Amino acid sequence: MRAVRQHFRDVHEVARFLTMATGANHPVVNIEYPDWVDSVVDWNSTYSSDESRMRLAIDVSRANVERGTGGPFGAAIFEDTGKLVAVGMNSVVRYNNCLLHGETMAMMMAQRVVGSFTLNAPNLPAHEMFTSCEPCAMCLGASLWSGVRRIVCGAARDDASRLNFEEGPVFPESYKYLEDRGIKIEHNFLREEARGVLEMYRAKGGKIYNA
């Protein structure tokens, strides 16, 4: 019990220190990519095929596991020409933040890049998101607000559920809701490659959060 109390005292101290370090007396959230991102992502390449776009999302998910920076999920957002806009990797444990899934991270970074709260603004080209695994309830909802016009998924919900990751209330009607609003959605694209990263994470004994 004493150890538990000490732990919470330590956590509180660290949180207080971080708050002080920003010069603010209220919470501040900063989100950055892990250090390895520039060695895995070729920002200047044109990703002309769906295969190359999905492979990038999968490469990001794999690097996240290999470097120990988060769960086995990655995403990437492109203009429809194949120009890369942003990637995202699961960062839940790294930041103690349940919102930081691969897809939400990619959406936040993409909107930062284009300077718009929607990727579907009149002055912007169409954007599409490739995700290494079918989105959870949160990410599917966020996809609607993000303004992406196409979503391509690698591994299936069942593949993640097998690792005991909770995907939340996603139903066939949920996908239909987005499709009815003009968003194209494709499933099981390079599914085996994407699933391989989930299996690698399981073999490494990776942490299952929000189970």
Residue 136, interface with Zn ion (CB under 5 A)?
A: yes
| # residues contacting Zn ion (CB under 5 A) | 4
Q: How far is the CB of 103 from Zn ion (least distance, A)?
A: 5
CB of 110 to Zn ion, least distance (A): 15
**Is 127 near Zn ion (CB under 5 A)?**
no
Q: How far is the CB of 153 from Zn ion (least distance, A)?
A: 11
The residues that bridge with 185 in the sheet, in sequence order, are 151
Q: If phi over 0 gives left and psi between -120 and 50 gives alpha, with beta otherwise, what is residue 165? A: beta
63-102 residues near Zn ion, rule: CB under 5 A: 101
Q: Is 103 considered catalytic here?
A: yes
| Nearest to Zn ion of 45, 161 (CB atom) | 161
Q: Which is nearer to Zn ion, 56 or 139 (CB)?
A: 139
Find how far residue 32's CA is from the centre of its chain.
13
Spot the catalytic one: 13, 32, 79, 103. Answer: 103
Encoded tokens for 189 = 């694209």
Query: What are the tokens at 67?
Result: 């470097």
Residue among 139, 151, 160, 178 that touches Zn ion (CB under 5 A): 139
Farthest CA pair distance, the chain: 59
Contact 131, 107 (CB under 8 A): no
What is the distance between the alpha carbons of residues 42 and 48, in angstroms, rounded to a whole number?
13
Query: Which residues are marked as active site?
Result: 103
In the complex, the residues that contact Zn ion under the rule CB under 5 A are 101, 136, 138-139
